[in-house]
Structure 1
């Protein structure tokens, strides 16, 4: 009976949220324990209960479903952007307060990942998705019924906190179900969602303004979208986290055999509340402040992320004021961003992923050095800077709006590839503490996303669209060398790092 329920837990399932973040033993430790403990329950080889043995069709469905949840959350973040003038008139608030409907939602992303990631590693992905998304849907109803600006802003912040659950756990779900060979393409497809959502939001709200309907209709649409996604979770998304599935399996074996000695690895954890709080809240920032590599990458990714949300204030100045486009057509100017993201996915799958697979074969049985991931960022980073200069010096009203609009395609393409490269680098470089490293990265990045829109209008009004966008381009140029420097000095820095081993175990090689 013992042998029929055994197989090692693969560390790849923790690529985005390793067990370290919740105090659970590493994969290597679990494997050692399994050799010593005959009652430790595992999956059998080829066990259909193991998410990595599910059919490709089921895995791709879950990948697309996970992407849809992230699309929902990020769509909601930017959706009110075209409604700010309407809210200013309705509630008698300033431009800055109106912009808080976007910034406070993104502020919720700072808190949510610190909660939902570790909780999903204790109780599983599915219950966290179900509970958080239902509450998120309820806060959209609260926004739609808000009697004043204060209540609307409070509900937006709380909604963002609960909407952060898919940001924290959808990537983890994908790493639960895909092995190293298939995960690269799946993550490339999934990466489009965080950048497509913000680009679609202004289109919807822009045409609602043009139709002359109440601003409350936007939040009813968000409520319906959230409700559909919640039903999708309840009826079609199973539990994918292996330690939780093994705990359920151990319980069934105990019930079937009557032998209480059988147990899973997660049931052996015995952490105090203080230990859990330290793991959830303190450890990510301890790692961040002790790691120069992580600080550099986090600053770069945060700047790129902040620029996405800054555009929600910059585009209306260029297209609505400068080119006299109505709110609906002005919202369409954002569409090249997600389109560029789709082209980035095609670029990665066709050109970059095969190269990584060849490199993996060359390095086998050792993992590919993390610095190999950075070549994607080395190619896309210059285009990110170029896209801002393109946008800057085609922003004159005398130039066709098609010129600045199409710069968004290059911007979306470069952003998607930069994020894909740097996310994978963090995972490869930090291995067992990748969850904590990514948590710190997410918090700082969200702060930038929340803060950039607050000064964007003043910056563009005072400097003008041309020089304001050029300033962003110059900052992008100063940050562009980061992947080049890490490619050269990364191996040396990793040998001196406490958290980034220079020779990671082969079984922990992600993507």
Structure 2
């Protein structure tokens, strides 16, 4: 809806400019006709000044064979989302964060209902974990298609159409009478969530230059990370309420997601610049009757061709780009921990401290608090980035600068896991384990922000492929680990489970420092990274 208003507003502004330029052109021609000192040279269109255009060099009298490519009018062109008013862009980030939050919430909303739902469906609790695993598999599978689709039809239609379909399968999850129906619905909930959860970083890049991304991106990252740890808090209290069925975890998800969809439908604009230039070209053709006005987006490949081009690249990035492989390994570990905690908190808190389901779910608040604490540091990182670029507007940032949060957080990840594993004893205060979870919450968002921003700055236009490859793998692996989490906690216990995962964190610990030291050399050798 808002994108339609945006389209109409662009047409109205261009029409006003056309009428203004037509009057100026008429006045100029009248003066030249009266003076007869200079022969009037009529331009092809009074809209010549409304956009930077590039013609074919071949002279011709047939306008249908001569293309005028519509581009932006320099760095300050108001059509570019990076030049929109700051408050408008902040509003867009807030709406997008709400949409991300609602669909991230869906991934963990019913995790605290595992025991109740498994009893109703007559399956084991391990089998009921398929509900979460299939959601993660769906997100990982759909991430491959989301990027090419958003670059064909635009960000806004991709978000809205996928979310509209997603709502029906959330409804199906709430109503299904069978375990098989639940598993299928949850798969499609994840599949249609993938568009929102995998391309939101591109929307930030659409609207913010490198320095301001240091402020905007942590907010988007918080929505991605906090939703799966806030949902179990609500889920625990819903399941503990004798007057509410466990299915209310799905009904609450549907209510939140429906509200997010309506807000996005009415107020979220299109931000993909090539598509906006395509709109401009359409308006110019309508106003002038000149069909030569075209955009590069309209001349580019179709969705199917883009998918064929992009399809093999994620695996190539994972196997040939050390940055993607190693930072992707970090994010895989973080998401494995995040979603395995949905089962693991039963063993870490419920069994050790004999907590109720409601209080066990509330323990996730410690992770959310840590993530929120880091997000509140975003203005500091923005100020640091401004100082680093000497306050020059639009200045680029060295990608290695983005790694500092990860450099600081990497040791804390291993510490928090060992701390959580070995303080999880009845004779140790529960606040110790909650403190470890708080540190983990800070770490996960710090590494998330650093990794994503480093990849965006390093790979430029290829960043979407790099992020898609990480998204695909981390959700697929996390889905597999959700199924393995409960048997692992039961088999080797909390202490050794956390020790094993902490050991992996120790192996990955030098990665941010390695890229800080050798990142420029690696980018210089990469065929996809931006030249240092």
TM-score, shorter chain, exceeding 0.5:
yes
Aligned mate of 2:253, from 222, 228, 239 = 222
Query: Which residue in 2 is equivalent to 1:124?
Result: 154
Instruction: Name 2:501's counterpart in structure 1.
Output: 472
- TM-score normalised per structure 2: 0.85
Task: Determine if contact 1:5/1:42 at 8 Å carries over to the other structure.
Answer: no
**Equivalent residue in structure 2 for 1:265, among 287, 296, 316:** 296
- In the TM superposition, residue 271 of structure 1 has moved relative to its aligned partner by 4.9
1:314 correspondence with 2:344? yes
SS of residue matched to 1:41: strand
Does the CA contact (< 8 Å) of 2:275 and 2:297 recur in 1? yes
Cα distance in 1 between the residues matched to 2:313 and 2:55: 28
Equivalent-residue separation in structure 2 for 1:366 and 1:346 (angstroms): 24
Q: Distance in 2 between matches of 1:35 and 1:492?
A: 39
Cα distance, 1:364 vs structure 2: 10
Change (3 A) 1:270 1:328: closer
SS at match of 1:192: helix
Task: Name 2:262's counterpart in structure 1.
Answer: 231
- Distance (whole Å) between structure 2 residues aligned to residue 55 and residue 486 of structure 1: 35
Structure 2 residue corresponding to 1:386, chosen from 409, 415, 431: 415
Distance 1:397 1:448 in 2: 32
Label 1:174 to 1:270 Cα distance change in 2 as closer, same or farther (>3 A). Answer: closer
Q: Is the 8 A contact 1:185 1:349 kept in 2?
A: yes
**Structure 1 residue 327: Cα displacement:** 0.8
Q: CA deviation at 1:495?
A: 2.5
Unaligned runs of at least 5 residues, structure 1: 9-32, 504-511
Give the superposition deviation at 1:229: 1.1
Bigger CA drift: 313-322 or 48-57? 48-57
1:4 is matched with which residue: 4, 25, 49? Answer: 49
Matches within 5 A, 1:413-428: 413-428=442-457
Q: Given the superposition, is the C-alpha separation of residues 92 and 272 from structure 1 closer, same or farther in structure 2, using an over 3 Å criterion?
A: closer
Corresponding residue pairs, total: 477
TM-score norm. by structure 1 comes to 0.88
1:162–1:34 Cα change, 3 Å: farther
Residue of 403, 406, 412 corresponding to 1:374: 403
How far the C-alpha of 1:366 sits from its partner, in A, is 7.9
CA distance 1:35–1:396, shift in 2 (3 Å)? farther
1:289 aligns to what? 319
The superposition leaves residues 285-334 of structure 1 with CA deviations (integer Å, 9 ceiling, x where unpaired) of: 22221212321111121111211111111111121111111111111100
Say if 1:395 and 1:465, in contact at 8 Å, map to a contact too. Answer: yes
Confirm or deny: 8 A CA contact 2:138 2:191 kept in the other structure.
Answer: yes
Displacement of 1:143: 0.6
Note if contact 1:5-1:41 (Cα within 8 Å) is conserved in structure 2. no
For 2:96 and 2:391, how far apart are their aligned partners in 1? 32
Structure 1 or 2, whichever has the larger Rg, is 2
How do residues 38-53 of structure 1 correspond to structure 2 at under 5 angstroms? 39-44=68-73, 46-53=76-83
Asked whether the 8 Å contact 1:387–1:408 carries over to 2, the reply is yes
Match of 1:339 in 2: 369
| Residue 450 of structure 1: how far off its partner (Å) | 1.0
RMSD over aligned CA atoms reads 2.2
Work out whether 1:135 is the aligned partner of 2:165: yes
Alpha-carbon displacement from aligned partner over 1:194-226 (angstroms, at most 9, x marks no partner): 111011111111111110221222211111111
How far residue 94 of structure 1 moved from its aligned partner, in angstroms, is: 1.4
Gaps of 5+ in 2: 1-45, 58-65
Work out whether 1:211 is the aligned partner of 2:241: yes
Task: Give, in whole Å, the separation in 2 of the partners of 1:270 and 1:485.
Answer: 38
- Which deviates more, 290-299 or 76-85? 290-299
CA distance, structure 1, for counterparts of residue 424 and residue 55 of structure 2: 63
For the residues of structure 1 that align with 2:114 and 2:214, how far apart are their CA atoms?
39
Q: Give the 3 Å change call, closer, same or farther, for CA 365–335 of structure 1 in structure 2.
A: closer
Structure 1 match to 2:28 = none
Whether the 8 Å CA contact 2:202–2:464 is kept in 1: the answer is no
Matched, 1:174 2:204: yes
